[in-house]
Structure 1
């Protein structure tokens, strides 16, 4: 590979330190015939009496006196201890894991250094959603700061405020940033509410202790007048790009021979025949049973955690369950009804908690029945028999048994969420296997990017050193001494050309050279100036020393109190 250019510099200081003058001497004889590849130089003017050595495809010439002097200066060689395994040098990039090929398929060579486009696009989309700001014209009354949160952005479309059917009060949801931690959170505001007592604080403290992967954690609870009224704000974790279970599975209206169903709005009274026909039509687009079992495992797991803490969920509604990624469920808005109940003066006794836990099981059964029939109308009492018949015809007996156990009372006996676990059976291992596969995939994606941060820091330092106009009023600082060596190395890595003169673009070459520089490898490298007049043979270890000295000098100059020449 050639290193070609039009600039010339004086590297005499480095030549003396590296003892390369004999190899570069051109005082006598005709001009050398430069090769196409800088890694295999040959000079016609060299004395044939000199010895030569081939290392890594590069030929080095030296006299007998130089070889004897270098051998006497080298320390005695100590044999390495015997080991059963040999560790490769740090500059060698490892291959991909055994399970990577089956998970992601064969990838092109450049893609092996970076995460997949699908994962990168997903992460970038989430990050862009975290940076979204509202239009001040659409929300003129939105406060700039609420308690310790700022950059509020409504997560609901603008429009008239309406009471929540589940909470029976007006609520709003905002994205905000914590000024102390910089973390994005979700603020759920309850309009026009003033706390009459401190009973709700105890309930909030219990919810804050809960932690589960399928639960949107409650982080903080406070009152504020920043919105112009007395509002209660509950702070939850924020999941960018999440959608509700209602939007994921129940947003498509039923079709009648290509025409929209006139009774698609559940709030509009409709005849029983229309309801029954709507339920029957959905059987053509039923959900896979494996997906429903995955939802059962996630929801039963979070309910088991909540009930074990002496609390009740009470929000098992399709509009309050978030879906992220590959069908991951997160139960949202937990604790809102507890705060409203505690503030109303009702006592949240153990008897009431047990009653609400039984309602959670019924709510889980209704949700599973609606998912199995792919219609929210399936849970209405008039459609119950029709919905159960659809489940019986299209799904396994185990799924029907789970739904019937949750919906039909069993002789007044107190049911428990733990009763669902034996019905899940071996399907739990399928869910566990899917989770492990996802972990393996993400670990493989992380393995591709784990070294990129280190290489980026190395490139940032190298770019700060090379081609610098001046340092401490020295305009030739970047073209002399150690910096000249680094400039040639930069050309060797990024400005190489093929024998035909085309740019040599090889990601493996770049990564290997940067890794060898960072590790201080003892491998030798042949550097050539852009005007082809200077050839330097050095090692990556010496280049690293030049790199560290130059950056240390640059860093000390940045910390100097007085500017140069003051």
Structure 2
């Protein structure tokens, strides 16, 4: 049933949504299909408040970390996305090679020519939960592809050893007929709410739609894709160049430096995705690794030019000169110099080390911003360290209050040091106003529990339900009663044979 929140807005119970709960995800149980309801926004303002800016050294936005409110909202949306389920009627397989709960990640397009492709093969991406660890992964499926030689999977092992913050990690690959065809499936680390550079900066948006590279799109009356700020552009160049350096040093080539393959996974954070797929598709074709590494640099130059012009066709030979002119009017000469170097029209042999030498000053800026982001996140973490204090306290209440019997005493929870605990429970949760209506004030509960957890010397008066007993005790004395009662339970529990609970 729909209910009203504390602001009077309608919402639905979480059990009404097709979520994968934490227990389900880690126990390999499948989610039972549930009715589809309109998802109401979460009440982000109910979460832990942040430390005022005057108390922290880096409270302002950093290059990689947004403001506190935006960061909290973005993380909550990622968590919500991870636990979402697919819409009914998609006829997706229930389980494939230890993965279940499939959810398509690609937007539905009416024209088949607009679908993402690898060469001559259509590609579809899904999110699925792994049975082994309950973690969501991204599965890229190559449709109607028959892998002839199992030796091709050696490329997956090579790419699995490449670990870099700007490369989406590949985990495994397998073939399947679960989609009613011969499909190749490659498994990658999943980054929730990520989108490609093409979707973020080059794709035309519907009227009234604005895209956020690290979140969801919202309607704000803008149709043109946002231009890439030069500072952000250099950040992308540094991150991608660092990733190319890692791959080339391993004697390999990236081969997927493309607007549709590079993901924006956070504020100004990019990662190269789909690595290793090209090697699987072209396993039988001899390749010149030196030529492929040169092509990586050329692809990076084309990607930069397309981003600057917000046009996927900007790097086409017939319009290259005009695109360079347009880029020069918006960005500095240093950007044009890097793009011309990467295109390498003079036949000069280029290396990623030479590229890094050309942009070394921007590496220093990037490192400083990364360190500032680290400090910013540590300050955010400080606000979350003590979140479990009150939960632990409530758990102790649950163990002690209303316990039917302990130590062969059916009135154990009603006598001795446990009696003030029961009265305090009523004082916190069961108060009524002058009209006999229940008092449901979260601030009163949090204030009392925080004072109890701190053990203050403030005294309160506790009255029994029949108003025949009245006790005046301090929070410090109540804390001692709770610790004593819980210690008694803990000692008895440690002496018994441990049980395994499902």
Of structures 1 and 2, the one with the larger relative CO (CA 8 A, separation 6+) is: 1
- In the alignment, structure 1 segments of 5+ residues that lack a partner are 1-93, 106-114, 256-281, 562-566
The answer to whether the 8 Å contact 2:253/2:289 transfers is yes
Give the C-alpha shift of residue 305 in structure 1.
0.7
Q: Name 1:119's counterpart in structure 2.
A: 71
* Contact 2:125 2:138 (C-alpha < 8 Å) held by counterparts: yes
Give 1:480's aligned residue: 415
Distance 1:318 1:395 in 2: 19
Shift of 1:217: 0.6
1:462 aligns with 2:418: no
TM-score (norm 1): 0.65
> CA, structure 1 residues 508+326, in 2 after alignment: closer, same or farther (shift >3 Å)?
same
User: What SS is found at the alignment partner of 2:204?
Assistant: coil
Number of the residue aligned with 1:296:
237
Q: Any residues of structure 2 matched to 1:16-95 within 5 Å, and which? A: none
Deviation at 1:95, TM superposition (A): 7.6
1:182 Cα deviation from its structure 2 partner:
0.3
**Contact 1:204–1:221 (Cα < 8 Å) also in 2:** yes
Deviation per CA, 1:197-235, whole angstroms, max 9, x where unpaired? 233122111101011111111001112222233322110
1:529 aligns with 2:470: no
Greater mean deviation of Cα atoms: 549-558 or 528-537:
549-558
Q: TM (normalized to structure 2)?
A: 0.73
1:24-80, Cα deviation, whole Å (9 max, x unpaired): xxxxxxxxxxxxxxxxxxxxxxxxxxxxxxxxxxxxxxxxxxxxxxxxxxxxxxxxx
* Residue 105 of structure 2 corresponds to residue 155 of structure 1: yes
Distance in 1 separating the partners of 2:422 and 2:131:
43
Q: Is the 8 A contact 1:493 1:513 kept in 2?
A: no
Q: Distance in 1 between matches of 2:206 and 2:404?
A: 71
Instruction: Establish whether residue 312 from structure 1 lines up as the match of residue 312 from structure 2.
Output: no
Q: Is the aligned partner of 1:329 residue 2:270?
A: yes
Distance 1:381 1:160, change over 3 A: closer
Unaligned runs of at least 5 residues, structure 2: 1-49, 62-66, 208-222, 434-438
Name the stretch that deviates more: 503-512 or 191-200: 503-512
Among 370, 379, 386, the residue aligned to 2:315 = 379
Aligned: 1:346 with 2:285: yes
Does structure 1 conserve the Cα–Cα contact (< 8 Å) formed by 2:327 and 2:336? Answer: yes
Aligned residues of 2:173 and 2:187 also touching (Cα < 8 A):
yes
Residues 216-295 of structure 1: pairs in structure 2 closer than 5 A: 216-252=168-204, 286-295=227-236
Secondary structure at the counterpart of residue 185 of structure 1: strand
Q: Which has the larger radius of gyration?
A: 1
Q: CA deviation at 1:326?
A: 0.5
**Who is 1:391 aligned against?**
327
Residue pairs, 1:389-538, within 5 angstroms: 389-410=325-346, 412-466=347-401, 468=402, 470-471=404-405, 476-490=411-425, 505=443, 509-510=447-448, 512-516=450-454, 528-530=462-464, 531=467, 533-537=469-473
Change (3 A) 1:136 1:492: closer
Cα deviation for residue 364 of structure 1 reads: 0.5
Query: In structure 2, the residue corresponding to 1:186 is in which secondary structure?
Result: strand
The count of residues paired between Structure 1 and Structure 2 equals: 418
Who is 1:356 aligned against?
292
CA contact (8 A) 2:145 2:183 kept: yes
1:508/1:153 CA distance change after superposition, 3 Å: closer
